[in-house]
Structure 1
Amino acid sequence: MHPQFAPQTWPRRQWLAALAASGMAAVWPAWAQQRGRPVRRLISVGGALTEVVYALGAQSLLVATDTTSLYPEAATRTLKVGYLRQLSAEGLLSLQPDALVGAADAGPAVVLEQVRAAGVRVELVPAQHSFEEVLRKVETVGRVTGREAQAAQLAQRLQQEWAQVSRQVAQASRRPRALFILSHNGSPMVAGTDTAAHALLTLAGADNVVTAFAGYRPLTAEAMAAAAPQVIINSTQGIEALGGVAAFWQRPELALTPAFARKALVTMEASHLLGFGPRLPSAVQALHRQMLQVTA
């Protein structure tokens, strides 16, 4: 072995980081991941995962979070490792974490492989846009942080809240025709199927008026009029990016919709609305109530 990689002369974390960067990580034995050791230094990437960390009282383990981790307010004061899809192996490993928990879209994948190869436990939760996804996040963070009992209690409370909200939605006498607009970057797109927004609208008792395509796309004025939404949903950040509520309603493509006549707009903070974290029951309940109110 080359002297510069000699483990007896380097601290373990520095040695593992160098190994990952050298391309030799593929031959490093599996025990290097140290999965059985207690986690003392945790990185969370994904706002919902960070919310769970705080909900379980495990925030003392956090050494950093990503820029989508904005709730609770204390999370905004944590060290940031950048946007969850644009992570850096060097930046992550410099914090000497024992574990990283994150959303499935965290990455790039090659960066997370380097982090794993350096002996860091990496656990990602697949996105299903469902209440079951929330429970999986709670279970994962509880297991990684050694707070299984707290995770079980939180899961039980969330299940009770979800059952109550689901009954309220099921008992509603009508389903508003809703359109979700994503405009965080100032370029509005509407949510089709296979999106968190579509799932949220469905869970909250609305019918998404855009089902001809999956994902997010721009929508023409003609298509907007044909879709005929009774209510429009956006995040507070998205409305701010478009210049505020008054400026939003001045957009010509909205003028021919039923929603325009009533100025039927529902907004919520983005991580609450689309995070699919512990606040999902409250997000669905608030969205359900507000949609019925503005379309009454």
Structure 2
Amino acid sequence: MTICRMLMRIMLVGGLALGAAAHADGITVHDARNRDIAINDAARTVSIGGAITEILYALGLDGRLVGIDTTSLYPPAALREKPNVGYMRQISAEGVLGLNPTLILAVQGSGPRETMDVLETAKVPLVLVPETFSEQGLLEKIRLVGHAMGVDARAECLSTAVASDLTQLRELRARVTKPVRVMFVMSLLNGRAMVAGRKTAADEIIQLAGAANAVSDYDGYKPMGDEAIVAAKPDVVLSIERGADSLQADAIYAHPAFALTPAAGAKAFIAMDGLYLLGFGPRTAAAARDLSLKLYPALAGQSGSFASAVLSANCRQ
């Protein structure tokens, strides 16, 4: 796209946003950039981030969605019904602006930076939703998205249901007497394992499930050498399912370093749906509960029934 065409697009979308101000809701949201964002119209919203899309559907706001990103895998209807603007870290400004949005909700970390700069210049309200991997961060995410859309009561309904599920999860976690050591492996590339450290979604979901992250000496995702893998002594290897690119148990067991760990000795490998496991959306407590029962099968008979309040709650009106 030429600079001239991009400027014309910016002027067009900016004009649409100003035209919508006659129907202003007068909402202000404090986002991940520590900025106050004024929102006048949320009738045409683009969602960038699977958890945001999941929240919007749970709040009955799918009718306002005019675009989503490729991580918006739940509910499955989202990818069938809505135009796709690409992967959240490789968003095209033209693709987003071409949908004539009046609001963009993007999870913190969306990009690239150049695209986010163009979207800000377009004068369409751009809310970066904080990505804080904690119970409180999850509840605040729901409330922020609901407030941005002008449906605070629905958001409170959903956050209350999620809080109820987290309480049930806490009760299950209290029954764990000896936490197992779990290593989350994103991928194996040329024999090098990409492993999750602290301050990651994987680290938090492992702890929510009542286990311990076998890697606690760095933040984020980093390649790990063979000696460090052996020294970490993981009891279980955890990964995500992603079609043909999924990490396979046999690849872990055959790896020269993992072969020396308790995880390989016990053939302890777990793979779960990526958005469900790491998305930190409304289903996170259920995902952590499922992971916990995989890690501690004996809890299945002790835990009673986990009746998800999220599944039974009607927060769409």
Q: Shorter-normalised TM-score: what interval?
A: 0.7 to 0.9
Which of 191, 196, 200 in structure 2 is aligned with 1:191? 196
- 1:43 maps to 2:46: yes
- 1:214 maps to 2:219: yes
Whole-Å Cα distance in 2 between the matches of residues 157 and 235 of structure 1? 26
Whole-Å Cα distance in 2 between the matches of residues 39 and 265 of structure 1? 43
Q: What amino acid does structure 1 have at the position aligned with 2:140?
A: R
Q: Is the Cα contact below 8 Å between 2:183 and 2:238 reproduced in 1?
A: yes
Flag the 1:36–1:235 CA change in 2: closer, same or farther, 3 A.
closer
Q: Is the Cα contact below 8 Å between 1:52 and 1:137 reproduced in 2?
A: no
Which of 3, 11, 14 in structure 1 is aligned with 2:12? 14
Ranges in structure 2 where 5+ consecutive residues have no aligned partner: 16-35, 300-317
Whole-Å Cα distance in 1 between the matches of residues 126 and 162 of structure 2? 25
**Structure 1 partner of 2:274:** 270
Q: What amino acid does structure 2 have at the position aligned with 1:163?
A: T
> What's the offset of the Cα at 1:45?
0.2
Which of 152, 157, 166 in structure 1 is aligned with 2:156? 152
Name whichever of 116-125 and 146-155 sits farther off. Answer: 116-125
Flag the 1:237–1:12 CA change in 2: closer, same or farther, 3 A.
closer
Cα distance per residue 1:66-94 (max 9 Å; x no partner)? 11111110122221111112222222111
- 1:59 maps to 2:94: no
Flag the 1:70–1:184 CA change in 2: closer, same or farther, 3 A.
farther
**Structure 1 partner of 2:94:** 90
Whole-Å Cα distance in 2 between the matches of residues 289 and 152 of structure 1? 29
Residues matched between the structures, number = 273
> What's the offset of the Cα at 1:110?
4.1
Matches within 5 A, 1:1-296: 14=12, 16=14, 35-77=38-80, 78-183=82-187, 188-237=193-242, 240-241=244-245, 244-293=248-297
Q: What amino acid does structure 1 have at the position aligned with 2:194?
A: M
Whole-Å Cα distance in 2 between the matches of residues 235 and 14 of structure 1? 41
> What's the offset of the Cα at 1:185?
7.2
Q: Is the Cα contact below 8 Å between 2:143 and 2:152 reproduced in 1?
A: yes
CA RMSD of aligned residues (A): 2.8
Q: Is the Cα contact below 8 Å between 1:265 and 1:294 reproduced in 2?
A: no
Cα distance per residue 1:113-152 (max 9 Å; x no partner)? 4323323111111222112222122112212222222111
> What's the offset of the Cα at 1:62?
0.9
> What's the offset of the Cα at 1:246?
3.2
Q: Is the Cα contact below 8 Å between 2:48 and 2:106 reproduced in 1?
A: yes
Whole-Å Cα distance in 2 between the matches of residues 11 and 119 of structure 1? 11
Structure with the greater alpha carbon radius of gyration: 1
Q: Structure 1 residue runs of 4+, over 4 Å off?
A: 10-13, 184-187
**Structure 1 partner of 2:311:** none
After TM superposition, the score normalised by the length of structure 1 is 0.83
Q: Is the Cα contact below 8 Å between 1:52 and 1:278 reproduced in 2?
A: yes
Q: What amino acid does structure 1 have at the position aligned with 2:228?
A: A
Q: Is the Cα contact below 8 Å between 2:183 and 2:237 reproduced in 1?
A: yes
Flag the 1:237–1:249 CA change in 2: closer, same or farther, 3 A.
farther
Cα distance per residue 1:165-187 (max 9 Å; x no partner)? 01211231110011111118786
Q: What amino acid does structure 2 have at the position aligned with 1:215?
A: G
Name whichever of 59-68 and 115-124 sits farther off. Answer: 115-124
User: Kindly, what percent of the aligned residue pairs are identical?
Assistant: 36
